[in-house]
A and B are shown apart, each in its own frame.
Chain A
């Protein structure tokens, strides 16, 4: 039983069997993650607000914030990844790399009404941290607040994948297989319709920047909405809008072209391991578009980004990607990749557990 009546907009209470289902799913995912060598971390629900002004620039407006009785400006946890980065960056020397961790719990963000309007969301997430390619972790800055970023995220890291993306993507596919109850290694599972969409944050920056600031913002919005009229006469953008990527990757410039080549190679590797999953490359996906220079839709992803879709869910089941820049801006050059699974979305498509009559309280039937 899920109850929203009598509660603030965007939150709900899970009672009895709904709570058991959520916990069962959480446990199944956690057991799989432990078996894969990922260790659990528990993070607080409250943090200082100030570090997030820079760390999640734009998205900080979604945070619930308040001044406590000591006069501190605090925020409710809106995302695990930036909090983890803020806590781990100053301690990078004590980390045994690669570090594999996972977390589970609620994040709270203010959102408009709609199917994505849940303001409290339960997530299970994974982060894989490793030494940055071609460098060793150095002593981080003492101040954990964000430093100033120089240059674009896309320019900061050459567009290539190095195995971390493949590990977390594969793990995500396995987890979704466990939760939904299908074997992604079996080609016959493809009829389950699980679709992984791969993209690259910032891959279109060079192409869009060449059209000037104003036009770039218009085109970014057009791609975001898949507005075909707005890209008519612009064959490369039209191809991206319809097919997900341009016929000639070089049309995106050196950096964007290399990103597309890397994405295609990654897709082929994942597809060969998991023929039961549909994989596509789409540079116009929102997760990647948030990496564009346009307005307030920036995110911390700076390389491969991905989202998982199911035909039975109106929202992505999971999303993730590469975010080295987040750690680098905190003075800790690490390779970082991860994902978050939206447990409530997953619950909507996962098969229910067999009924456990002995545990039923009886209250549910009478309500």
Chain B
């Protein structure tokens, strides 16, 4: 039985939709139970053990082999740098990692700026070749407050619809990267559950829910 890790956050619904489309029976799924077993009857094998994790913890659980397979955003993967297989990315639930500010233009070359983000490691890589003196400030949430309250000149954060930005008179200055919910697989689990995992991947491809 495959142990499947699902994220509690914004990627849960796209993940569930993709799995349903691929034929995984999720009728018994209870969104508040952290650990549950869905019985056989699934089109994809002899049942599945579902584990619900916070997005930031999910790669760790899969990397440690607590779960065989998971679905998590590429934003988290880029920040935590796990050694996981990433066979497929979902079509739904996509967003973008953007540079956000209060003005309409990027800062001029040579100026010193501060950037607020939940993703300090990834932001450092994304902005490595920018012509600014750069200080990265890590925030744990409400990153848009960084430029709004002048803690930082810019923010690097996820933009989905842009509504939050408009509500706070912030501007999406530049898209730095696309983000997608992505299937992740533990390397060892792939070797001893290969047929089963590949069957899942083929089912997701057939359902046309992956890029």
Contacts and interface: CB of A to CB of B under 8 A. Distances in A.
Given A115-B65, A225-B85, A286-B187, A195 B210 contact: no
Interface band, chain A: 20 to 34
Chain A's interface: helix, strand, loop or mixed, by majority?
loop
Given A112-B81, A115-B64, A226-B85, A315 B188 contact: yes
Given A242-B198, A314-B64, A195 B191 contact: yes
A233 interface: no
Contact of A229 (B82, B88, B192, B198): B88
B91 to A, nearest CB: 11
A227 B201 CA distance: 11
Nearest to A282: B191
B55 interface: no
Contacts, number: 54
Interface string B26-68: 0000000000000000000000000000000000100111000
Interface band, chain B: 20 to 34
B87 A228 contact: yes
B191 A228 contact: no
Contacts of A309: 188, 191-192
Contact of A193 (B85, B86, B192, B211): B192
A225 B191 CA distance: 13
A19 interface: no
B141 to A, nearest CB: 23
Nearest to B84: A225
Q: Which of B60, B81, B192, B194 has the most CB of A within 10 A?
A: B192
B83 interface: yes
Contact of B65 (A227, A229, A282, A314): A314
Contact of A195 (B85, B87, B185, B192): B192
A185 B83 CA distance: 33
Given A310-B192, A315-B188, 9 more contacts: A114-B83, A227-B86, A227-B87, A229-B89, A229-B210, A280-B194, A310-B188, A314-B188, A314-B189
14 contacts: A114-B83, A116-B83, A195-B192, A226-B85, A226-B86, A226-B87, A227-B87, A228-B87, A228-B205, A278-B192, A282-B191, A310-B192, A314-B63, A314-B188
